[in-house]
A and B are shown apart, each in its own frame.
Chain A
Amino acid sequence: MTAGGSAGRSRVEVRLEDLTRKYATTTALDRLTLTLAPGELVALLGPSGCGKTTALRLLAGLEEADSGRVVIDGEDVTNVPANRRNIGMVFQAYSLFPHMTARKNVEFGLQMQHVGLAERRDRATEVLELVGLSMHANKFAHQMSGGQQQRVALARALAIRPRVLLLDEPLSALDAKVRARLRDEIRRVQMEVGITTLFVTHDQEEALAIADRVGVMQSGHLEQLGPPTEVYSRPATPFVADFVGLTNRIKGVVRDGSVDVRGESIPLVHPDVADGPATALIRPEAVSLATNGDLADGPLVGIVIAVAFLGATSRVTVDLGDTTVLAQMPTSAATLLKAGTKVRLAMRTDPVLVQREEPATTAP
């Protein structure tokens, strides 16, 4: 496979070093440092305004950093204009040139590189086949679905054989089914070409599904960077725990490196947290429910108030009197539960994060 260039050329390391970008009084990016290994797909995840798109635009050269460096394959490109960085980019939506066919769109970058007509055609055909759209080469943007348009945009970005591929929320304008399919398609193509890729999204499911590593951002900072399983299972901060996946917030008391939650003692991720009242952050899948055994009233006995069917798993909401707790379990087990069923909670003793209530502090 040669689309997108030879593997050797595509697999480059990308480093963002101490990048800072301010807009008037707002700091969009605050000394961001991030390294993408050759051929790696890193997803930057975070809410609107967290700085993820700014980071991508600084890497693309579409904005200038106030300070810091962008290094691609060992070359400092901080002051290199966007059109000389050789970076492929897929935008959120509507980025295809509407007066050109899919083929002409794909050929455009090659035309800018003064590639001959015959080679342009060959390479356009090659990348359109790569994204499965060779049948639609002569269609205009308005004649294609949103998903097809984004695949053409991906083909266009890859046609120039870029050193790096940037994806700026490329799936956010699509409906759920197309989004999931195209997400897998992007990953397949990225792995096939082997190109170093930065993917920006606010959708945690998307980030966790597609990336080699996920970087969770907040207020211009990288809160955590790691493989999807690590980010989900061992969130480094309460923000990550809250933003990635669902989290139960249950009051407890920190004592000697663990937290007492309704009579259960759970170890802490960061055992050096000072003793005192705190809120434990516990994943729904760490909570299990039992309908037999001792159901006498107690701090861990409650009433099921809702069961939400999610497909293979279901989410059960339990009223404990002074709070509600979510438990996630296989649907086969959840079918036994109805609203009003009395249950006993049990919590896995995986280490958890805690958060102080007042003043707001986070685990170190």
Chain B
Amino acid sequence: MTAAGSPALSTAARPVRGGRRLPLSSIGVVPFFVYIAVFLLLPTAIILGGSLVAPDGSISFANFAGIAKPYMAKSFANSIAISAVSAVVGAFAGALLAYAVVTGKPNGVLRRSVTSASGVVAQFGGVTLAFAFVATLGTTGFVYEFLLQRGIDIYTNGIWLYDLSGLTLIYLYFQIPLMVLVFLPALDGIRPQWREATESLGGGTWHYWRYVAGPLLFPSFLGCTLLLFANSFSAYATAAALITQGGVIVPLQIQALLTSETGSSQPGFAKALALAMIVIVLVVMVLYTLLQRRTAHWLR
């Protein structure tokens, strides 16, 4: 009999108190929850409260009516379009890259270099990223000039780098590596036995992708695409650094409404927009979680 197994000794050493006590090790998560509370939940609550305050100080839903205004609806449409395009293109390109990685050696140079680079590049954004593209593809950028000297003018129909097309291209810079990082575990979960089993049962490559690998990977692929959508939809700094024309996408509209120098700032309306964005991202993330959970049993 050990001391730990003796109720008498246990009781003597640790007096019984009312209620359940959290183990000491849980102290480590306290800073995390404090951080979440202060920087996520509290701002969300402030946004929610502020969005209900009309310009005259009354409590109403008047701020939400502004979302339906044509110029604001256009910003939402732009935001959704740029997020959808960069998510879909990023998802396909990232999935192909991830597939190339998993078909290589498990600890080979390709895998190590691609995953390391993706880890860095997926977090790269803001002013630095915008500047990188301006310095390369901008009107004085060295790639642009290099191409121009060889008779290729990528701006014959206007300088698209500073509008939605350019922003989509720049977003792909972090969307593709993010896709690599989030989709790689699903691809790793695909077992070589499934392909061999398909073959031994009379199926070919098409059958394998149509009936086995495709259905197994599709929910995860769709979930990852939604994650990319949310990532792009909530991006602000890169667009703010690149596009001076306000209001092209929703985050820039919010910025304009909060920081107007002409005395027309509308914090309540800005918060209503932010809340609408939160709702959209929340819906997307719930769908992402449901899809990931669906494949959790399959691709462990």
CB proximity of B295 to chain A, nearest CB, Å:
8
A157 with B298: CB separation less than 8 A: no
Q: Taking CB as reference atom, which chain A residue is nearest B194?
A: A97
B202 with A86: CB separation less than 8 A: yes
Determine, out of B136-144, B209-217, B231-239, B251-259, the stretch whose residues face the partner at the interface: B209-217
Complex CA–CA separation, A98 to B190 (angstroms): 10
Q: Taking CB as reference atom, which chain A residue is nearest B294?
A: A99
B216 with A99: CB separation less than 8 A: yes
A95 with B191: CB separation less than 8 A: yes
Complex CA–CA separation, A94 to B201 (angstroms): 16
A87 adjacent to chain B (CB < 8 Å): yes
B202, B212, B299 interface centre (most CB from chain A within 10 Å): B202
Q: Taking CB as reference atom, which chain B residue is nearest A104?
A: B211
Complex CA–CA separation, A265 to B229 (angstroms): 84
Complex CA–CA separation, A85 to B204 (angstroms): 12
A91 with B193: CB separation less than 8 A: yes
B196, B204, B207, B299 interface centre (most CB from chain A within 10 Å): B196
CB proximity of B198 to chain A, nearest CB, Å:
8
Complex CA–CA separation, A317 to B196 (angstroms): 47
A151 adjacent to chain B (CB < 8 Å): no
B196 with A112: CB separation less than 8 A: no
B201, B203, B298 interface centre (most CB from chain A within 10 Å): B201
A239 adjacent to chain B (CB < 8 Å): no
Contact partners of B193 in chain A: CB under 8 A: 91-95
Complex CA–CA separation, A108 to B197 (angstroms): 10
Q: Are A108 and B201 CB-contacts (below 8 A) given A89-B196, A91-B196?
A: yes
Q: Taking CB as reference atom, which chain A residue is nearest B219?
A: A99
B17 adjacent to chain A (CB < 8 Å): no
B237-261 vs A: 1/0 string, CB under 8 Å? 0000000000000000000000000
CB proximity of A192 to chain B, nearest CB, Å:
21
B191 with A82: CB separation less than 8 A: no
Contact partners of B203 in chain A: CB under 8 A: 83, 108, 112
Interface of B is mostly: helix
B199 adjacent to chain A (CB < 8 Å): yes
B26 adjacent to chain A (CB < 8 Å): no
| CB < 8 Å neighbour of A97 from B196, B197, B202, B204 | B197
A60, A83, A91, A166 interface centre (most CB from chain B within 10 Å): A83
A94 with B207: CB separation less than 8 A: no
B128-162 vs A: 1/0 string, CB under 8 Å? 00000000000000000000000000000000000
A97 with B207: CB separation less than 8 A: no
| CB < 8 Å neighbour of B202 from A91, A99, A109 | A109
CB proximity of B256 to chain A, nearest CB, Å:
48
Contact partners of B197 in chain A: CB under 8 A: 89, 91, 95, 97, 156
- Residues A84-130 near B (CB distance < 8 A): 84-89, 91-95, 97-99, 108-109, 111-113
B297 adjacent to chain A (CB < 8 Å): yes
B166-205 vs A: 1/0 string, CB under 8 Å? 0000000000000000000000000101101111111110
CB proximity of B196 to chain A, nearest CB, Å:
5
A181 adjacent to chain B (CB < 8 Å): no
A188 adjacent to chain B (CB < 8 Å): no
B199 with A82: CB separation less than 8 A: yes
B196 with A140: CB separation less than 8 A: no
Contact partners of A99 in chain B: CB under 8 A: 215-216, 298
CB proximity of A145 to chain B, nearest CB, Å:
15
CB proximity of B299 to chain A, nearest CB, Å:
8
| CB < 8 Å neighbour of A94 from B191, B199, B211 | B191
Q: Taking CB as reference atom, which chain B residue is nearest A91?
A: B193
CB proximity of A143 to chain B, nearest CB, Å:
9
Contact partners of A87 in chain B: CB under 8 A: 200
Contact partners of A231 in chain B: CB under 8 A: none
Complex CA–CA separation, A142 to B194 (angstroms): 15
A62 adjacent to chain B (CB < 8 Å): yes
Contact partners of A61 in chain B: CB under 8 A: 199
Contact partners of B211 in chain A: CB under 8 A: 97, 108, 111
B111-131 vs A: 1/0 string, CB under 8 Å? 000000000000000000000
B50-64 vs A: 1/0 string, CB under 8 Å? 000000000000000
Contact partners of A60 in chain B: CB under 8 A: 196, 200
Complex CA–CA separation, A84 to B204 (angstroms): 10
B216-230 vs A: 1/0 string, CB under 8 Å? 100000000000000
Contact partners of B201 in chain A: CB under 8 A: 83, 108-109, 112, 156, 160
Complex CA–CA separation, A12 to B196 (angstroms): 23
Contact partners of A92 in chain B: CB under 8 A: 193
Complex CA–CA separation, A12 to B14 (angstroms): 73
Complex CA–CA separation, A94 to B216 (angstroms): 14
Complex CA–CA separation, A283 to B29 (angstroms): 61
CB proximity of A33 to chain B, nearest CB, Å:
24
B202 with A95: CB separation less than 8 A: no
Q: Are A160 and B202 CB-contacts (below 8 A) given A95-B191, A97-B212, A98-B298?
A: yes
Complex CA–CA separation, A99 to B216 (angstroms): 7
Contact partners of B199 in chain A: CB under 8 A: 61-62, 81-83
**A-B CB contact pairs (8 Å), 25 listed:** A60-B196, A62-B196, A62-B199, A81-B199, A82-B199, A83-B198, A83-B199, A83-B200, A83-B201, A84-B202, A86-B202, A87-B200, A89-B197, A95-B191, A95-B193, A95-B197, A98-B216, A98-B298, A108-B201, A108-B203, A112-B198, A112-B207, A142-B297, A156-B197, A160-B201
Q: Which are the 8 A-B pairs with shortest beta-carbon distances?
A: A109-B201, A112-B202, A95-B193, A98-B298, A89-B200, A82-B199, A142-B297, A112-B203
- List 15 other contacts, CB 8 Å, given A81-B199, A108-B211: A62-B196, A83-B200, A83-B201, A83-B202, A83-B203, A85-B200, A92-B193, A95-B197, A97-B212, A98-B297, A109-B202, A111-B211, A112-B202, A157-B200, A160-B202
